Every structure is written in C-alpha cells, then in structure tokens.
Structure 1
Amino acid sequence: MHRAVAAALRFPAQRIAEGDLTARLPLRGKDEITRLAAAVNTMADALAARLQAEREVTANIAHELRTPVAGMVTAAGLLPPGRPSELVREAARRLRELVDDVIEVAQLDGAGEQVAAEACGLGELVRRSAATGAAGAAGVTVDVVRDAEVVTDPRRVERVVANLVSNALRHGAAPVAVEVDAGVVRVRDSGGGFPESLLSGGPQRFRSGCGEKGVGLGLGLTIARGQAQVLKAGLRFSNPAGGGALAEFDLRSAVRG
C-alpha cells in the first residue's frame, strides 16, 4: 500500500522539485502521508504566489524606469564630443538594455507569448543573429555544415542565437565558433566553461552565465531559455572535452520536410 502511494507521489514531487509549481501531490485518505502531501502542496502554493509577486514587482519597476531611462539616453546623445560624454552614453545605453531585458523576462514568465512562424533558411538567420550578438567583436565564426529550412519565429530565433554569442564573448573567451547542422545550432567558446550551478540548475537571472569572467546579470541566458521554450525548441548547456562552453539550440522539430 505504502509503495503504491509513494509511486503516485513521486512524479508530481519530482516536477515540483524541478520548478514546476503547478504540479500538486494527490491527496488520498487521512493518514500521515496525506498530511505530508497536503503540506507540500501548501508550500508549493505559497512559493508560487511569492515568485509571481516578485515577478510583478520587477516588471512594474522596469516599466516605470523605461521612460526616464529613454530620456537619459536622449540627453546623453546631446552631450558635446569627448571621453566623458562617451562614458555617459555607454552607461545610459547599458541601462536601457537592462531595463528592456527585465521587461522581456517578465513577458516570458507569462503565458501570453505567441509564435509568429514563417519559413526561413536557418543558415542565413544564424549568420545575421551571430553578427548581432557579436556587435562588431572579432573572433566569431559561423560554419553552416548542413543548412535547413525551418518554420519558426525568426525574431525569437535571432534573440536566442544573439544572446548565446553575446554570452560566449562576455563570460567566455574568443574565438567563438557557431555551427549550423541540420536544425541544430551550436555555440562554443574558448573560455573556462559554464559554472556547475548552471549545468545542474539551468540559467538563473541575476547570475553570471559562464565561467568567472566579469560579473554579469544572468539575463541573457535566461531570455534565451525562455524564448526557446516559447518555440518548443531544446536548449542544452555543457562543458565538452577540450575546454570551453557549449550551448546547443535544437530546432529540429521545426525543420520543414
């Protein structure tokens, strides 16, 4: 009897442990196991409510900051030429990017994201995305081993690839190799690899994304993972033999034909 009950509880308990706070343990009878299951469900309810409240507060703050930050960027653009002005403009630009990233994370946390799918060549899409992520930096190469036509949302794919390349440059090291192989996009850098916390628990917001280089805020990989989930695509992180960090963006389910 207890073995059957334990088996029934194991799957939803595992889902909760992996972060699915919509899962609940079944309640049967009035014994100690049922009371324990009820306590776990109550804890999951409380945690889900707290996380939702934190997300709403973060999103509201970001939305409130968007207007004054936009004004700051505009004002910085009017400053006279010179190194101090360049520093102010760069700081204002980074602040605007951070606010936009926080808003995007909040949107991805919701359930209203829609995919605008269309047919496109993955190789060309990745080349364009990698250039965006590199932002003029040297040491990024794109190799299309086998191209594929995919039916997907190109804007979201570009966001994922650009963030993976940007993260590789910021937290890893050049050269960064981007490979397209029949629906799978691989981004590998030459740094010290992903931290163990990322490999075991996935990207976490406000935590750096790769190695020990820089501080970082962890939003780039969080957004990449969220966009991949919207696309129902896979996104895996590993430290392959030979060094570096490897991110694999799996779009094979979207390959046409």
Structure 2
Amino acid sequence: MRALVRRFQSLPLRSRLALLVATAVAVAVAAVAVTCWLLTRTQLPSELDTSLENTSAPPSTVQNALNNCNSGLPPETTSGSSGFAYIQVVLADGTRCVAPDSQAVKVQPQDLAVADGTEHTSLHDSTTDSGTEVRVFTQRLRSGNAISAPIAVSVARPLTEINSALNRLALLLTAVAGIGVVGAGAAGLWVARAGLRPVDGLTRAVEHVARTEDLTVRIPVEGEDEIARLSRSFNSMTAALASSRDRQSQLIADAGHELRTPLTSLRTNVELLARSEETGRAIPPDDRMALMASVKAQMTELASLIGDLQELSRPDATDPGPLQVVALHDIVESALERARLRGPELTITADLRSWYVRAEPAALERALVNVLDNAVKFSPPGGSVEVALSEGGELTVRDHGPGIPADELPYVFERFWRSPSARALPGSGLGLSIVARTIHQTGGEVALRHAAGGGTVAAIRIPGAPTPPPETP
C-alpha cells in the first residue's frame, strides 16, 4: 500500500488529478450501476409474481390437460414446446396433467397442499423435467367446473426471462460504466491541463527567475480564483525582491560614496604623518596636533557611519527585539543628558509629562538622541532647544536654526540624504532614517515641520498611556 502511495505521489500533478477524477467517476458510476442492477433484480421477480397471479388458465386448457390424464398418456411425454406459460393440473394424489404446448413442471409439496385443500394458493420456485428453472403459481380450481375430485392448477413461467434481462442489463451497465470511466479520465486530463496552464506559466516564470535572476518578470493575472491570487502573490514577491535588491544596491553605492570622503582625508593625513617619519622632517607641533585631531575626528565619523550602516542593514521586517513597557519621559531625560554634553553652550529646556509606551529601550533612546543631536547641530551658538512631552503623548523637539526648505521636507527621512546646506556639517545622513525606522516599529509616527518664528519642530507620537499597565500574573 505504501508503495502504491509513493508511486502515486511520484506522478505529475496533472496525471494525479486525471487519475483522481477518473477514480471518483468510476466509483460513482459503479455504485449507480450496482444499485440499478440490484433494484432491477428485486423488481423483476415481483413483477413476474404479479403477472403469474393475474394469469388464469382457460377452462378448455384445463379440460385438455385432464383429458390427457384420462387417456392414459404419461404426462412426461406430452408436447413440450415452450409458450407464454406452462399450465398443468395437479391432483391430490400428486398426479400431474400437463396441458398441450406446455412443459411438465415437477410437483412440489406446496402444490399438493393446494390440491388437497390445505392451502388456497402457493407461489414458489421449481424446475421442469428438462431442468429449466421456473416460477410457479398454484391455486385451487374455481367452483363451477364439473370436476368431482379436488384439483389444483399450476401456472409456471421460466426464470430465464429474468436472468436474461439481468444479464443484458449487467452487460449494458458495464459498457456504460467503462465508457463513463474512459470519458471521465479524458475529461479529467483536459480539466487538469486547462486548470494547471496558469501554474505552468508560473513555473516557467519561477524557473526563469532562478536561472537569470531577472526580477522584472510579471505573470498576467486573469480572474479572481486561487490561481489568480497565486499569480498576484508571485508578482508582489518579485516586486518586493526587486525593490529590496535595488535598495541594497543603493545602500552599498551610497555607503561607498559616504565612506570615500573620510577615508580619503584619513589616508592623506596618515600619509603626511608617515612621510614625516620616513624623511625625518618634523611637522610643526601645531600642524601635527591639527593632523592628529583631524585623524581622530575622521575615525569617530567612520565609527559612527559603520554603526549606522549596521543598524540599517537589518530588513525592515526584522524583529527589532523584545518590546517592553517603558517610561518615555525617563528615556527622554536620559537622551537630554547626552544632548547637553554635546551642546554645552545651548540652553535646553524640557517640559515632560508621564507617558508609557511599548518599545525596545535601547533603540528608542538612540532614536531620540539622533533627534536631539540634529537640534543641537543646527542651533546657532547660544541658542535654545525646547523639548516637550504633552499629556497626549506627543513629543516635540524645537530648535531655532535655519530650518528646512519646504521642497526638502519629503526627503529628510531617506537614507544618506543630506540638505545641500548641511553637507559641510558632520554626519552621515542616516540619523533620521534610523529615527523613522525605530518609531515605525513601535507603531508610532514622526514628522518634521516648520516652526513659527523660524527653526524646525520634530514631532513624535507613540501609542501609549499616561500610567503603566497593570502587571500580568
């Protein structure tokens, strides 16, 4: 059995569908045919019995049968050409008188019971002297006949009528079932081919993508069935893969471009220091200190850029880490401490209300630090930065810098995008991308807008509540 299952599973899907359809139709046709044959086999004997009960022997035929007995002719030698029914008279002593043109039927005890008056009628099976199976209906002779001795009249019909009809019906049903199975197999194969034609197209498309890595392939979609849904899903998958590959290529290109500048400057400074050591020509102390400070700043910028690239290298769908309920106001306080160290000449004020959110603490703090760093970086010397966390959970960071032109606002959260006016300032252009990614992973929103009186407002809203949720046991 297992070998048959494995062999069936090894067949192509088209063949399996055709075989299953043919099998299902074969079982259905066989069940109908057998049921029809059984019903017919039950109905035909019933109709034969009814026909025998409604058949009466003519008085002249009964008299001729009695005349044969009175003439002394043995009943077995009576003419035996088969007619519509076989008629014979049964006497109480078991003597049988066969009518002309009938065959002699063996007398059964049921016939004798009717002849001697014990039973009124009898319906049973018997055989002729030649071995033909017959159905016999025996009844007492009706009153009015000039017969002194009690007699019974038997009317018999051969069962070959039923058997022949059942055999012909069996052959007919077998032929119809065979034709039905063959037709079902052909129809199943056609249906399988027609139904799997879109799957064949999908298979060819997948093989083409695997062979050429061409993600621009799209499958035509027709209808609203499962195949159409599968085609749409494939098209969406290839589009997502193509977009992911394009973003990856763009990320690599942008990263290479951003790394080239600090690496070039770092290599130039290191070559100057190395040439000074090789030639023995000392660099003036002030210039050497400036070179070392530049190398240190470039190393710091490279480290920051690599850290940002590692953060953004994770796919957007990657689990950001275990989320937990955290106090947003506490995380803002921690980020403010770091921002004050980076802008000691600025006045940073905060008005924070309690707000609890579900997030990854380390990622959320890094995002807030990036927002505050931007505010510190673009604030004028001696300026101020106002931070507020409202009762509704909206966090705003407002600076008094030059602001962002309206035509540049749609691009501020893109990777490596930097405003032309900010290209001379330190940074990689990845900070706001990390902010948007982190806030979206918590289910929140972030946006930049112009501030009244100049500057920029960064607004962050994360779903939460002013009080922490109760702990679950």
TM-score range, shorter chain: 0.5 to 0.7
Structure 2: gaps spanning 5 or more residues: 1-217, 224-231, 257-262, 271-284
- 1:222 equivalent in alignment to 2:428: no
CA contact (8 A) 1:175 1:190 kept: yes
CA contact (8 A) 2:378 2:399 kept: no
Q: Tell me: higher relative CO, structure 1 or 2? Use CA pairs within 8 A at least 6 residues apart.
A: 1
Kindly tell me: are residues 60 and 192 of structure 1, through their superposed partners in 2, closer, same or farther at Cα, counting changes over 3 Å?
closer
Q: Which of the numbers 435, 445, 453 marks the counterpart of 1:234?
A: 445
Q: Which of the numbers 323, 331, 334 marks the counterpart of 1:128?
A: 334
Question: Post-superposition shift, 1:157?
Answer: 1.6
Secondary structure of the residue aligned to 1:212 is helix
Q: After the TM superposition, which residues 182-193 of structure 1 pair with which residues of structure 2 at under 5 Å, given as runs?
A: 182=391, 183-193=393-403
Query: Corresponding residue for 1:208?
Result: 418
Query: Corresponding residue for 2:386?
Result: 177
- How far apart in 2 are the matches of 1:86 and 1:152? 38
The one-letter amino acid paired with 2:325 is A
Scaled by the length of structure 1, what TM-score is found? 0.66
1:171-204 deviations in Å (ceiling 9; x for gaps)? 3543221112232211111012123244234512
Query: Corresponding residue for 1:196?
Result: 406
Aligned residues: 210
Kindly tell me: are residues 140 and 47 of structure 1, through their superposed partners in 2, closer, same or farther at Cα, counting changes over 3 Å?
farther
Kindly tell me: are residues 46 and 104 of structure 1, through their superposed partners in 2, closer, same or farther at Cα, counting changes over 3 Å?
closer
- 1:87 equivalent in alignment to 2:298: no
Query: Corresponding residue for 1:18?
Result: none
- How far apart in 2 are the matches of 1:219 and 1:233? 19
Kindly tell me: are residues 140 and 193 of structure 1, through their superposed partners in 2, closer, same or farther at Cα, counting changes over 3 Å?
same
Question: Post-superposition shift, 1:248?
Answer: 0.8
Kindly tell me: are residues 44 and 59 of structure 1, through their superposed partners in 2, closer, same or farther at Cα, counting changes over 3 Å?
same
- 1:137 equivalent in alignment to 2:343: yes
Query: Corresponding residue for 2:309?
Result: 102
Deviates more, 1:186-195 or 1:167-176: 167-176
Question: Post-superposition shift, 1:47?
Answer: 5.2
Structure 1: gaps spanning 5 or more residues: 1-23, 30-37, 62-67
- How far apart in 2 are the matches of 1:232 and 1:169? 27
Deviates more, 1:44-53 or 1:198-207: 44-53
Question: Post-superposition shift, 1:145?
Answer: 4.0
Scaled by the length of structure 2, what TM-score is found? 0.38
Q: After the TM superposition, which residues 45-56 of structure 1 pair with which residues of structure 2 at under 5 Å, given as runs?
A: 48-54=243-249
Q: Could you say what the CA RMSD is over the residues aligned between the two structures, in angstroms?
A: 3.9
- How far apart in 2 are the matches of 1:149 and 1:188? 22
Secondary structure of the residue aligned to 1:178 is strand
Q: Which of the numbers 239, 244, 250 marks the counterpart of 2:455?
A: 244
% identity of equivalent residues: 22
CA contact (8 A) 1:171 1:212 kept: no
